[in-house]
Homo-oligomer: A and B are copies of this chain.
């Protein structure tokens, strides 16, 4: 009977899971040093919680089902609704709250490059304040995690702001922003003609479409944002303060990272949900989907409770990061410290050998015993397979005389030393 894994899921063997630890460890360490604290949401939630944020369209893309108690539940397709549910059910927490998590999430969709049905997703949020400082801290954290993963220089940050867009829409006479956001969200996937014809369908004249096309096809330094907005908006004063906040945010981000930060009017990040700044990180080669993304979402807590709690955060999956690390030859891992492989000539020496082995381990030294009944040459071959640095070989003579034979597996040199001297030399 042969049973396969489910399509789109990963069997993560050591050669993949060990390098992946770097992603977990760096994210966690950087977040913690920034004052973020780790939480962990349940993997299963009532589907209504996710409907609340994303509507019915998401439901078809979830691993959701009716449980034995007859209620609709879903394996979480992202973490944010769970995290906000956890937030609003704890009124005692002093604000701002800074949380991060790194759960598995699941989406029922066709697997494709950079996108699986199961992956790990890092999330970080600041709840309770709506300031440029909080926006910068979240974007800076995102950048710093990428930089610490040695990805500096191969990505850039692109930011936009929903409120700027909505202001410009109104200013040029577009009242209903949602359908326009929806078209801009697909800007980089459709042709210029499609862009114009879709805008025309939702009642945007070709003159206004010209303005929009010009806007969303440009990626500009954030410092040029005031000039750009002035050139489009008939009334700049109404948006001046917000534009200045964005320029200030970018100045703060500059204290976190040397990576490029650009303003990109085509960054929308889906339809509803976000209420202010939105951002993504892209590989500068432009070959991959976005590395991470997030933004300000001040309304979600209010949908779940009577509390209005402003929020800014981002999410980062492990799949695209893996691709980037592989591409730059950083998808590797070595057991830290030296490793000793313990070989014995017969069962008679095992107890003695295991005693030495466990002394090594108690000194925080890696030690691996051969647990088979094979001959020495097969044991030494296994030692190399385990990437050990030394073999500790124990036969009857060694045991009787309180010695070991130490073999350096890199040079092949071996020497007989007293066990006490050997252990003493390592404990220094």
Partner of A255, one of B45, B46, B131, B351: B351
Partner of A44, one of B1, B9, B129: B9
Q: List CB contacts (< 8 Å) of A16-49 with chain B.
A: 17-18, 20-21, 32-35, 37-46, 48-49
A12 CB-CB contact with B under 8 Å = yes
Main secondary structure of the interface of A (DSSP, over half): mixed
A106 CB-CB contact with B under 8 Å = yes
A199 CB-CB contact with B under 8 Å = no
B358 adjacent to A256 (CB under 8 Å): yes
A273 CB-CB contact with B under 8 Å = no
The residue of chain B having its C-beta at the shortest distance from the C-beta of A134 within the complex is B371
Residues of B within 8 A of A118 (CB): 42-44
A335 adjacent to B366 (CB under 8 Å): no
Q: How far is the CB of A73 from chain B (nearest CB, A)?
A: 6
Residues of B within 8 A of A38 (CB): 14, 17-18, 21
**Given known A-B contacts A9-B44, A85-B5, A118-B42, A96 and B371 have beta carbons under 8 A apart:** yes
A11 adjacent to B86 (CB under 8 Å): yes
Partner of A252, one of B67, B99, B354, B372: B354
Other CB < 8 Å A-B pairs besides A3-B52, A3-B85, 19 of them? A3-B48, A3-B304, A6-B45, A9-B42, A9-B43, A9-B44, A12-B39, A18-B37, A35-B339, A35-B386, A43-B104, A43-B106, A43-B118, A104-B104, A128-B372, A133-B350, A255-B355, A255-B358, A256-B354
